[in-house]
Amino acid sequence: MCNSIPGSLYKSKGLTASSQSCFTFPVSISPSSFDSPAPNNSSAFVTKKYKPVAKKIRPVYTDVPQKFRIICDIKGDPLATLPPLSPHPPPFVPYGRYTAERRDVIDKCHPPGFLLPEERNLMHHFMTLHQDGFAWNDSERGHFREDFFPPVEIPTIAHEPWVL
């Protein structure tokens, strides 16, 4: 049971507490708002417990074998090959993955006045130069270089389930 709500609130809202429910309120409610009637968009949410204790995942404490340790081995300076960013970017020209439609999506996410026009042009120039670093759908998704970050293997331990 959640103990975060005072008992007088249960009575004033006509709620009852049980061991199987938890009452949560929107973040916008402050102590002073309990004196005034609640707005129409504010209400109590009654939810069940997250999960029974029997289904709790219990960690197994053990040493991780050496072959499962994550090793980051970056050789050289990976930033050395980045193209330089001009402080006076050229006008936008669609190139590769960064098309005019995708530029419009980015512009729609930033309301007018969020960035100055020069900053907006610099952002579009940056995204054009580094267009391979952005994935607009799953087919464009990439991965880290395996010589820098080898694939991660997650060890599992053979066990019997606690709940059948």
Q: Are 164 and 93 part of one and the same domain? A: yes
Q: Are 143 and 95 part of one and the same domain? A: yes
Q: Are 102 and 155 part of one and the same domain? A: yes
Q: What angle do CA 3, 54, 20 make, to 5 degrees?
A: 30
Q: Are 130 and 81 part of one and the same domain? A: yes
For 143, the token pair is 């991965």
Write out pLDDT tens, residues 59-95: 778 788 888 888 777 888 888 888 888 889 999 999 8
Residue 85 inside a domain? The answer is: yes
Residue 2 inside a domain? The answer is: no
CA-closest candidate to residue 21, choices 44, 53, 43: 44
Which contiguous run of DSSP H or E holds residue 47?
Answer: strand 45-48
- Print the domain residue range for 25: 7-50
Q: Are 15 and 41 part of one and the same domain? A: yes
Q: Model's pTM, two decimal places? A: 0.50
Check residue 42 and give its pLDDT. 52
Domain count, the chain: 2
Structural contact between residues 29 and 42, judged by C-beta atoms closer than 8 angstroms: yes
Residue 1 inside a domain? The answer is: no
